[in-house]
Chain A
Amino acid sequence: MSDKKKNWPLWEVFVRSKNGLEHRHFGSLHAADAEMALENARDVYTRRNEGVSIWVVESKHITASNPSDNGELFEPAQDKVYRHPTFYDLPDEVKHM
């Protein structure tokens, strides 16, 4: 075939295991359209009753941070210890805080 071939694009699948939990990334698959991606995700990732809700998004629509930026993105948070409850000293008598 001369013209360039279009293959089914890649989709990322997110599944909510049960109500109350967030959707979690489960994996990916190939599908021609969103409806097919949803159906395939159901068949591939919830065969054993693993989910109650599915999100699919075409992989190309995900913007990811670059690991080479990790220094500037994530390290500044490391010394902000005052964001964590253990930073603050309270007398033992104060319970449940």
Chain B
Amino acid sequence: MNQNLYHYILTIADTNLILGQRLGELCGHGPSLETDIALTNISLDLIGQTRSYFQYAASLFDEEKTEDDIAFLRKEREYRNVLLVEQPNTHFGYVMARQFLFDVFHLMFLRELENSKDETLAAIAKKGIKEASYHRRFSSDWIKRLGDGTEESHTKIQEAVNNLWRYTNELFQMTEADVAMVKEGVGVNLEALKEPYYETVSEVLKEATLEVPERKYFQKGGKEGIHTEHMGYLLSDLQYMQRAFPDMKW
């Protein structure tokens, strides 16, 4: 099996999965029915993309494996999602800041992945671009509403941006798998996305009358499976059924 390709897919897919899972927690608890429906749509898009990636990853194995084996049956240290997406739904400001900081990256990333030499990945990316464009539009609009809304909302969203900012740099960290995949024309050169990313993010934040945090003191580790303390609890929920009732069909 092409280990680099497998790990490459995992990093992308896990990030989608974990963010989809986080958004799934909110269903029924949002500030309005309309926002509930919108956030669920985003979650559904992400879970849908996750399934495509995992189905592809499962096909790389010689033995029989399913998308669910990969999604549910790994240990915490084997999940490769970035730390940003596992951060909790502290309040709606965190939900939107997390979404926005991810969406800007996600769209840029998929636009590059669409040109991958790997046809499956290129096809998944192509479909995902449309979804991610909408997500970015949705979350950017909300950043502006919260930033330029009331004093309270301004404070809250600024706090969320400040606290999540340290996880943004990890989006561009090149792992061994990344380097190998770029060499083969399959992967995306993340480093090249970095400047445009911070430029776009800064633009929106400024328009939202928010301060752009300084670019230092970043956190990383997710891509090597070293997660924040939140991850274990998230996985306990995610894996509960598969762990409590192993080897069954659902």
Chains A and B in contact, CB within 8 Å:
yes
Q: Please report A residues at the B interface, Cβ cutoff 8 Å.
A: 8, 29-32, 35-36, 39-40, 43-44, 47
* In the bound complex, CA of A39 to CA of B32 (Å): 14
* In the bound complex, CA of A36 to CA of B32 (Å): 12
| Contacting pair A31 B34 (CB below 8 A) | yes
| Contacting pair B34 A43 (CB below 8 A) | yes
How many interface residues does B have (CB within 8 Å)? 10
What residue of chain B has the Cβ atom nearest to residue A42's Cβ? B134
* In the bound complex, CA of A49 to CA of B41 (Å): 13
Query: How many A-B contacts are there with CB distance less than 8 Å?
Result: 25
What residue of chain B has the Cβ atom nearest to residue A33's Cβ? B145
Chain B hits for A31, CB < 8 A: 34
Chain A hits for B112, CB < 8 A: none
| Contacting pair A35 B37 (CB below 8 A) | no
* In the bound complex, CA of A36 to CA of B141 (Å): 8
| Contacting pair A40 B37 (CB below 8 A) | yes
Q: Please report B residues at the A interface, Cβ cutoff 8 Å.
A: 32-34, 37-38, 41, 137-138, 141, 145
Chain B hits for A39, CB < 8 A: 38, 137-138, 141
* In the bound complex, CA of A32 to CA of B150 (Å): 14
What residue of chain B has the Cβ atom nearest to residue A40's Cβ? B34
| Contacting pair A44 B34 (CB below 8 A) | yes
Question: Separation in Å of the B115 CB from the closest CB of chain A?
Answer: 28
Decide yes or no: A8 and B37 within 8 Å by CB, A35-B141, A36-B141, A39-B141 being known contacts: no
Question: Separation in Å of the B169 CB from the closest CB of chain A?
Answer: 30
What residue of chain A has the Cβ atom nearest to residue B38's Cβ? A43
| Contacting pair A29 B141 (CB below 8 A) | no
Decide yes or no: A44 and B32 within 8 Å by CB, A32-B145, A36-B141, A39-B141 being known contacts: no
Task: Give the residue of B32, B34, B41, B138 whose beta carbon is less than 8 angstroms from that of A47.
Answer: B41
What residue of chain B has the Cβ atom nearest to residue A36's Cβ? B141
Chain B hits for A8, CB < 8 A: 32
Question: Separation in Å of the B228 CB from the closest CB of chain A?
Answer: 30
Question: Separation in Å of the B142 CB from the closest CB of chain A?
Answer: 9
- Could you name 25 residue pairs across A and B whose Cβ atoms are closer than 8 Å? A8-B32, A29-B34, A30-B32, A30-B33, A30-B34, A31-B34, A32-B145, A35-B141, A36-B34, A36-B141, A36-B145, A39-B38, A39-B137, A39-B138, A39-B141, A40-B34, A40-B37, A40-B38, A43-B34, A43-B37, A43-B38, A43-B41, A44-B34, A44-B37, A47-B41
